[in-house]
Amino acid sequence: MPKLTKQMDKVAVVRSLSHKSNNHEPSVYHMLTGRQNPALVVPRNARTRSDFPSFGSVLSAFAPPVDVPAFATVPRPIGHDGVTYAGTHAGFLGPKFDPLERAAAKGVREPETHPLTPLPDFPEARLVAREGLRKLLEKQDDGLQRGRLGTTWTPTAIGRCA
Amino acid sequence: MIASPRVRGAFDLGRESPRMRDRYGRNEYGESFLLARRLVEAGVKAVSVTWTYIAPNGAVNNVWDNHGAIASLGGISGFAILKEKYCLPPLDCGLSALLEDLADRGMLDRTIVAVAGEFGRTPKINPNGGREHWGAAQTGLLAGGGIRGGQIYGKTDKIAAYPTDTPVSPEDWLATL
């Protein structure tokens, strides 16, 4: 690799990365989550919400919120034999911390976690309707808050007390 | 959030110069490394690039799971697979471009690049010029984020079968990130 050779002044070569499994599924899970689960074997290694989270989802959970997804997977998550591997999403941290996936793994039945294009059964009209509902609820809530309180409370400046 | 112009813009590789695109490599993985840099620039904290070669006919080829003689790749030897356009050459282009580009942009000090497989390969070569699964030792690469470059960390025995010095667990690896 002649081009990489020229960049090795920037690179630390770790020669002793080591664990005890010789099977793809538990090894992927261990490398991406830091947790071991030897029972993960295709096809029983699909992602579930009881999995430990991928490192990027952990980062996502602790990073200050920003207006872009904190974690993304490209070009697609690890998948084989019809299964997207456990260890590639947020697991028990929940969908909020799943990676943005540009595409689903090849040949799997599950869709990507946050598709860039809406799913066929989730047309844009539904997104617009949801957004409209959210705005309506916010407006009603705002009205209720005002109605109950009359005006917003302004703290009294420090001064006399009885 | 996903539809935000910043994220959509990051996915638009047409905004890069042809020279930059050539440097990363015009293939799914070179482009994924370039996308990773663009996503980090847009504010994304972590990008995972996973590499399985999808052939033009849609077949999934785990080119790094190199036992040699993979039927869908024409049954060539493990060493011949490494030299193909879907294996080491695009990794050489894409990874070197990413490291150089991050450094040129002043991003490498606050960005970590970590490269590893889920395991290593057996020390002994099989009759197909390939190697089987081996969790006990693999080489990983770390760069950026204050990590001192140009160093070798850890040692294995003389056939690279087991660590003899400072073994690094997946937990250590992830904690470092």
Residue in the block written with tokens 């705005």: A135
pLDDT in tens, A80-133: 888 999 999 999 999 999 999 888 888 787 777 776 666 666 677 777 888 888
pTM, 2 dp: 0.85
B55 min Cα distance to partner chain A (Å) = 11
Contact criterion met (CB < 8 Å) for A54 and B143: no
Task: Give the per-residue pLDDT at A130.
Answer: 82
Which helix (H) or strand (E) is A149 found in, with range?
helix A124-149
Contact B47, B29 (CB under 8 A): no
Contact criterion met (CB < 8 Å) for A14 and B93: no
Could you tell me if B71 lies within 8 Å of chain A, comparing CB atoms? no
Q: Which residues of A touch B67 (CB under 8 A)?
A: none
ipTM over cut 0.90: yes
Q: Cα separation of B30 and B98, whole Å?
A: 9
Query: pLDDT class for B112, splitting at 50, 70, 90?
Result: very high
pLDDT in tens, B39-51: 999 999 999 999 9
B72 min Cα distance to partner chain A (Å) = 15
Task: Give the per-residue pLDDT at A82.
Answer: 84
Task: Give the per-residue pLDDT at A161.
Answer: 59
Q: Which residues pair with B112 in a beta bridge?
A: B144
